[in-house]
Every structure is written in structure tokens, then in C-alpha cells.
């Protein structure tokens, strides 16, 4: 799958993509490449460094290299988070105190979060769902409602600092709205006009 997103450069903007074994392949690779193509710095962070296993639905596909784990990633330097889906991936990540804390602190600071498919589970376990409007893979809609969220059946939903989508078929809208939200946040940070302190730290 390929897509062209017209946007200004996001040079200096840092995005953390969080995944582990069992992620849905295109829900990571498509946003990763599209966001990287804006000039942003994109890092894949996992529970361990090294290769993690992608899936296409129920079948194993490619391995991708996680550049950082939660012990060596400087988490406060990231401006935005992307949470790919995949049931195994999301179910593992939601149980991690480090993931929960990172996502919760990031949200408390009003930074953007883009979540697709089963990644809504992570938002639930981080205690962030109450009062929010979002979508997800249809199978977890009851989990979202039971956690106090308002689930809607739409290709993509933007609610304040969140972008959510349901499944790989929704990736065009998910990527479009994710980059739009990141661009708005980028402008608020004024990264286009001043040197960002995060650029100086590598």
C-alpha cells in the first residue's frame, strides 16, 4: 500500500511508534513511512531491542527492527505517539507498566496519540478512555464502552489530541488525519521557526 500525503516538513518533530511481537504489519509500516516522509524523526520502541514479529491477520509476515526499548529510549523527547494494532501486540503492551505510564504521561501533556485497531486496549489500560470519542477494531467496542468511552463505527475519528481508526482498510484516512494532527501540534511547538531543543540531543 502506498499513499501520497501533501504536508509541510515536520523536520525536528519526534514520533515514537510503540509495538511488540504480533503487530499488524501495515498498521505499523504504512504510518511509519508516511510520517518519516514528512521529515520527522520516527523511532520504533518496543519491550525489547531487536527484531519483532509482524502479522498479516493470523499469519506471521516480516520481522522489523525495534531501535529502542523502554530502558534506553529518552521518552520525554517524543512529540507524538503511534500505536499500531494487532491483538497479540496490543494485549501484551497493555500489560506493561512502562507503556501505560508513557502513554498516560504523554496524554496528560496534550501530545498527539494515533491508535488503530486493537490499540484501543492500551488506552483503556492506561486509564484514558472515560469521556473520549474514538473508534477501534469492532471486536473491542464493548471494552471501550465499558471503560467509559464513546465508540463510533467510522473510518477515522479525531477527538482532541487523538486520532483513531478501525483496521488496515482505514489506513488512508488514518494516515491523513494523523499527519494533519501532528502538523497542527508542530505549529504550536513552533518547530518550524526555532531550533528545537530535542534536535540538539540527537
More confident residue, 58 or 170: 170
- Judge contact between 111 and 88, C-beta under 8 A: no
Q: Domain boundaries in the chain?
A: 14-188
The CATH architecture to which 14-188 belongs is 3-Layer(aba) Sandwich (3.40)
What would the mean pLDDT of 155-173 be, rounded to a whole number?
98
pLDDT at position 6:
47
pLDDT at position 197:
37
Whether the per-residue pLDDT at 192 is higher than 90: the answer is no
Is 118 tagged catalytic?
Answer: yes
| H/E element, 78 | none
Query: Mean pLDDT across the chain, nearest whole number?
Result: 91
Q: In sequence order, what are the beta bridge partners of 1?
A: none
More confident residue, 31 or 190: 31
**Which residue in this structure is represented by grid cell 508542530?**
186
Q: Is 162 left (phi over 0), alpha (psi -120 to 50) or beta?
A: beta
In this structure, the strands spanning 150-151 and 59-66 are unpaired
Q: What percent of the chain is helix, strand and coil (3-state, nearest 5)?
A: 40, 25, 35
Q: What is the pLDDT of residues 75-106, one digit of tens each?
A: 999 999 999 999 999 999 999 999 999 999 99
What would the mean pLDDT of 186-194 be, rounded to a whole number?
71
pLDDT category at 7 given cuts 50, 70, 90 is: low
Q: What 3-state class would DSSP assign to 182?
A: helix
Q: Is 177 left (phi over 0), alpha (psi -120 to 50) or beta?
A: alpha
What is the grid cell recorded at 138?
469492532
Out of 43, 57, 58, 118, which one is annotated catalytic? 118
Amino acid at each position: 500500500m502506498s499513499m501520497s500525503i501533501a504536508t509541510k516538513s515536520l523536520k525536528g518533530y519526534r514520533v515514537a511508534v510503540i509495538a511488540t511481537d504480533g503487530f499488524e504489519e501495515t498498521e505499523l509500516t504504512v504510518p511509519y513511512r508516511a510520517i518519516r516522509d514528512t521529515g520527522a524523526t520516527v523511532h520504533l520502541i518496543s519491550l525489547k531491542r531487536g527484531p519483532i514479529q509482524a502479522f498479516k491477520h493470523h499469519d506471521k509476515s516480516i520481522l522489523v527492527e525495534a531501535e529502542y526499548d523502554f530502558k534506553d529510549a529518552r521518552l520525554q523527547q517524543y512529540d507524538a505517539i503511534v500505536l499500531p494494532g494487532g491483538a497479540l501486540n496490543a494485549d501484551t503492551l497493555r500489560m506493561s507498566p512502562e507503556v501505560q505510564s508513557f502513554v498516560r504521561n504523554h496524554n496528560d501533556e496534550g501530545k498527539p496519540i494515533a491508535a488503530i485497531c486493537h490499540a484501543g486496549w492500551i488506552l483503556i489500560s492506561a486509564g484514558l478512555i472515560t469521556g473520549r470519542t474514538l473508534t477501534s477494531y469492532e471486536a473491542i467496542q464493548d471494552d471501550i464502552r465499558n471503560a467509559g468511552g464513546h465508540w463510533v463505527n467510522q473510518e477515522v475519528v479525531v477527538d482532541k489530541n487523538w486520532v483513531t481508526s478501525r483496521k488496515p482498510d482505514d489506513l488512508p484516512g488514518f494516515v491523513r488525519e494523523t499527519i494533519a494532527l501532528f502538523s497542527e501540534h508542530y505549529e504550536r511547538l513552533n518547530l518550524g521557526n526555532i531550533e528545537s531543543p530535542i534536535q540538539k540531543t540527537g
